[in-house]
Each structure stands twice: as structure tokens, then as C-alpha cells.
Structure 1
């Protein structure tokens, strides 16, 4: 396996899930690390260059939502949550915290693989952005290579990979009304079958970070 292959951390207290999943992803060309709990995962994150974290929500001790909050607060790597069928509230909370996607247990490993690849594609800035790098709008400068915004005073506001990609889409389509379905197509691609309300949560988080207090919240039509 190439040392430059993306490295994925799988965090799940169930050994019969994390080990077979790690083996499957290695066969698909990924490097993998495994953690049975949040404490072990934090050590790996601090010591490794990870491309993505697959994170179970329901774990003894510190749960996956707490670990997801910690990962997002430090700027990544992106997170795909593993959730139980009945935990819709936890899924929504996870997306609001900044998770990039989720998969419901029990799941087909091929579905998770598709979602991992979709998130990693969104992490790569388009070629034109590599050349032009930072983009200015209003009092903000967006740097897609850092997943960050900078205000007129130079203050940095961190973005998740999903928020950064969504902002790119808005900047690419000025004065254009984009439906929820169109936003999903442009940010994630239909092959990922992303939860259709996830885009609403991403829009809301992005607005909280960049808009003035008097703006009224909206969701895509």
C-alpha cells in the first residue's frame, strides 16, 4: 500500500465492526487505524495525519458526539458518523456539530466506502481554486485551502469541509436561487445519497458564522 494513501481512523467499541471494516478499507486502498474508545482516538488524532474519521456515536464513556465536537473544534479531519436506526436526534445533532455525513447501522461496507470517497472528493479544492486561492466577498476572505474565513480585521473563522464547499458553491452562483436538491448535487453528488436535510444544517451553521444578527434564518426551497 502506498504511504500517501488516505488514512482513515475507525472509532467503534464493537470489535466485530471496527476490525472487519478496517480490513475492508485496506483492501480498497486506504490506510487504517482502529480505536475502541474516544481516549484512544484522541491519541491517534494527535499523532497521525488522518484524512477522515469514521466515528460511532454510541460508545461507553465519552460518546461519539463529544468526540465529534472536539474534532470539529480543532479543524478536522472530516467525520462520518455511525448511528443506530432509531437515533435520528443524534444524527441531526451530529450534523449540526459539523459532521460531514452519517451511515445508519447495520450498513453495507460498500455504502460507507462510497460516502468516504464522496467526502474526500469534497475536501479537494477545484483546480481553479488552487490557482486563484483566496476569494473575497463583502467583508470576508474565503481561503478554501485552509477551510477558513477571515474578516476585515484578519480574525479567522474555521469552517468544516462541508461548510467550505457549500460557501464555494454560493460564490460560484451569485444572485442565483439554489434548491436543496441542487445544493446536494453541487456539494455531495447524488451517488452519496446524502441525508436531504443535512444541507439545511450546513446552511444554518454557515449563516451563523458569516451573517449579521438581524438576518432572518432561511432554508433551501
Structure 2
């Protein structure tokens, strides 16, 4: 099926790469595997994956730097699959823009379930969906291009993770969104790493929206309860 989601697998261990590919292809996905970051980055000039599975222990490049580049330059969902199990590693990966973090060794069924969860929550809608662009407080968000346009016309790129958070707010204007609701909407493993990642993504969104961090007007923190988006939103 040519319209099946394309998953890029960046993993230098051949056996792990094979297990990932077999699992995903058995579930109907298309896959492309890479052992080195240089091969993967060259391929990105000609392919547009729907999701990227990225190992951090690469032989030719720091995986975290690659995750950060993918988050800022591509619209793909990014899942780190790594043997680094420390909380700080998970927090750093999510702060740099990854959508999820799976620790090795992993169960193939878990990998498949977590990937499906990310792809069920695309920040960008399908072409048949009229909700590809939103307007609020003089701003425009384009979820096809992952771009924010300011009232004076300046464009700022969003990562996939930032776009997911913004879309959640735009879908629920003037409603309190708790941490539990954010976890349910955006997915993830919860805990400290999820909370830290959300704080960072919201902080980055506020910065891109020109918000005063001490007195934000669009994304308000309700301490002990969650967040609320205060602007009127128009779609299409």
C-alpha cells in the first residue's frame, strides 16, 4: 500500500533494526532502515517519513542533536528508542522535541502501540480536513507547514511536538486543561519526564507567540490545576 505511513528507523544494530522493521511491516507500515545518521540525513532530502524511530547511541553522530534538528525542521513524529534509561536522558530527549521515549529492551508490541498512538494524534490534519489553519489574536497557525505567522507577517517554524500542544489548546479555547487531560490527549508515559517536556513546549510556544513569561496573555497557567488558552479561535 503506497499510502501506508512511512516509518524511518535509525538504529545501528542490524538485529534490532530488523525486529523493528518486521514488526511494523507486519502491521501494514512501510519502513526504511538506516545504520548511520549521515545515511538517514541524506535520505531526508528525497523522502518524507510520517515518523522516525531514533536510537541515541549512533556511531557517527549524537542522537540528541539529530532529534533536535528533526523536531525543528520536519513534521514527522519522533520516537527515541534507546538503552539510556536515566530519567534525565528521557527528559532531555523530550525537551529537545521528541514525542515519546522507549527504553531498550522493548517489547515489539509496545513499540507498535506507542507508534500508533503518536500517528493517531497528528498535529497536521489530513487534506480533507478543513481545520488546517487557525486564527487567533492576530496570529495564524498553519498545521500543514508547521508555521506560526505573527500579526505583522513574520513566520516562525514549529516542531511537531509544539504543534501538537498548540492544536490541543486551539481545539479547547477558554477551557481548563489539566495535566491528566494533556496526557490523555497527547499520549506519553507520564511522570516527571512528561511534565517537564510539557513545561518546555509551552514555554517555547509562549516565546514564539511573543508572550511575557511573567504575565502571559494567551496561555495562562492555573497553578495546581493546569492551563487555559484565552483567545477566540477561527478555523479554515
Q: TM-score, normalised by structure 1?
A: 0.86
Summarize the Cα distance change of 1:124–1:5 in structure 2 as closer, same or farther, 3 Å threshold.
Answer: farther
Q: C-alpha distance in 1, partners of 2:123/2:158?
A: 14
Aligned to 1:38: 37
Summarize the Cα distance change of 1:3–1:123 in structure 2 as closer, same or farther, 3 Å threshold.
Answer: same
Aligned to 2:93: 94
Contact 1:122–1:162, Cα closer than 8 Å, also in 2: no
Aligned to 1:155: 154
SS of equivalent to 2:129: helix
Q: CA RMSD in A?
A: 2.4
Q: C-alpha distance in 2, partners of 1:49/1:85?
A: 27
Aligned to 2:74: 75
- Give, in angstroms, the shift of residue 173 of structure 1: 2.3
Q: C-alpha distance in 2, partners of 1:94/1:216?
A: 28
Q: C-alpha distance in 1, partners of 2:215/2:40?
A: 39
Q: C-alpha distance in 2, partners of 1:76/1:124?
A: 9
Kindly indicate whether residue 171 of structure 2 is the aligned counterpart of residue 172 of structure 1: yes
Aligned to 1:114: 113
Q: C-alpha distance in 2, partners of 1:81/1:92?
A: 11
Q: TM-score, normalised by structure 2?
A: 0.81
The structure with the greater share of residues assigned to helix is: 1
Could you give the per-residue CA deviations for residues 133-192 of structure 1, whole angstroms, max 9, x where no partner exists? Answer: 32211131112222221101222222222322221221232232211111121233xxx5
Summarize the Cα distance change of 1:171–1:124 in structure 2 as closer, same or farther, 3 Å threshold.
Answer: closer
Aligned to 1:136: 135
Q: Relative contact order, CA 8 A, sep 6+: which one is greater? A: 2
SS of equivalent to 1:71: helix
Aligned to 1:8: 7
User: Which blocks of at least 5 consecutive residues in structure 1 are unaligned?
Assistant: none
Aligned to 2:234: none
Contact 2:10–2:40, Cα closer than 8 Å, also in 1: yes
Contact 1:96–1:205, Cα closer than 8 Å, also in 2: no
SS of equivalent to 1:8: strand
Contact 1:75–1:158, Cα closer than 8 Å, also in 2: no
Aligned to 1:27: 26
Matched positions, count? 217
Aligned to 2:231: none
- Give, in angstroms, the shift of residue 102 of structure 1: 1.1
- Give, in angstroms, the shift of residue 124 of structure 1: 5.9
User: Which blocks of at least 5 consecutive residues in structure 2 are unaligned?
Assistant: 227-236
- Give, in angstroms, the shift of residue 54 of structure 1: 0.1
